[in-house]
Amino acid sequence: MLAQVITLSESQREEDIVLANQIITELLPQTGKSVRIGITGVPGVGKSTFIDAFGKHLTEQSKKVAVLAVDPSSTKTKGSILGDKTRMENLSKDSNAFIRPSATGTTLGGVADRTHETILLCEAAGFDVIIVETVGVGQSETAVRNMVDFFLLLMLAGAGDELQGIKKGIMEMADAVVITKADGENKKMADQARANYQHALHLLNTSATGWVPKVTTSSALENRGVAEVWTLIEAYLEMTRASGYFESNRKEQDLIWFKDSLQNQLRKQLAQSEKIRNSIARFETQIENRQMLPSAAAQKIIEEFLKVSS
């Protein structure tokens, strides 16, 4: 049933969107009780393998875990492989786990079009921990920060990033950094990378929470360092709940969601008007011929849209 209603919420059909919004609105009193964790990292860092081990650690503590794994959509075919579930072999068999692969669709920032709604549906279904695994495309993974309580960045040892100062945009958003694949010959390099990243984090501005981001190492294959990550998250939650930041941050995230949704709806309305589409095509020609300033053309489109709407 949960999978079906998530599919309904992801539909682009107008009647499905209306029905999904009605369902989620009815369920709102049952939401907000989970811990939301965002996990990101470059391709090949081992996100799915780490989540498989991390999720099993949580279910062994009698927690219900939902994993929202986001795969990139093709700009040509609009399709997506959605293969993350196959890489979480142990967790996918766990009765206390739910894994939902979704395509990014038109959304940037490493998340899918309706990830917000899917989080609420999983919370209403009684899941204690919601893990959002982003597409892993580098520094653009910003949208997920605005929908989770804790943002975990996975990094590889020896990738050279620790010498850059480091990928400041995404590092500033991370509440913790985990150096993955810290086993075998990689263990020594992982320990060195941990020291380098911890030093680099001290160069960044202190977060609004007062929390100092931690760096740790992990080997999902050997199941080492996984429990320590959850201990870090629990310490963060205790601190932010005591200070009131946890609740205020969620309220701010809802307002950001509202503003983002408003922009998306306006773009959708513009695209649905045949008159506006014709005007856009006309202005595009004028812009290409250097007859009109792009910003001036955009203003004209808004003026026309307001006339059509009224």
**C-alpha–C-alpha distance, residues 235 and 229, integer Å:** 10
Average pLDDT over residues 278-294: 94
pLDDT reported for residue 242 = 95
Residue 56 placed within a domain: yes
Find the domain containing 276 and state its range. Answer: 258-309
- In 3D, which of 107, 131, 72, 100 has the Cα closest to residue 5? 100
Residue 85: its pLDDT value, please? 55
- The pLDDT, as a whole number, for residue 136 is 59
In this predicted structure, the answer to whether residue 253 has a pLDDT above a threshold of 90 is yes
Instruction: Note whether 210 and 279 are same-domain residues.
Output: no
Which tens digits make up the pLDDT trace of 152-189?
A: 999 888 765 544 444 556 777 889 999 999 998 888 99
Instruction: Give me the pLDDT at residue 307, please.
Output: 85
Residue 285 binned pLDDT confidence (cut-offs 50, 70, 90): very high
Residues 195-207: what's their mean pLDDT? 76
For 61-115, the pLDDT digits (tens) are: 999 999 998 765 433 434 334 445 567 889 999 999 999 987 654 444 334 468 8
Q: 107 and 198, same structural domain?
A: yes
Q: Is residue 64 part of a domain?
A: yes
Position 228 in a domain: yes
The pLDDT of residue 26? 96
Within a domain: residue 22? no
Quick: pLDDT tens for 209-237. 788 889 999 998 888 999 999 999 999 99
39 and 148 assigned to the same domain: yes
The CATH number that applies at residue 229 is: 3.40.50.300
Q: Are residues 119 and 231 in the same domain?
A: yes
Q: Indicate if the pLDDT at residue 140 is higher than 50.
A: no
Last residue within a domain, chosen from 212, 243, 274 = 243
- Note whether residue 9 is domain-resident: no
Is residue 34 scored above 60 in pLDDT?
A: yes
Residue where one domain finishes, among candidates 217, 243, 269: 243
Does the structure show a pLDDT above 70 at 205? Answer: no
For residue 14, what pLDDT is reported? 87
pLDDT of residue 84: 54
Identify whether residues 194 and 282 lie together within a single domain: no
Give residue 141's pLDDT: 59
Which of 161 and 308 is assigned the larger pLDDT? Answer: 308
236 lies in the same domain as 266: no
Within-domain flag for 250: no
Report the domain count for the chain.
Answer: 2
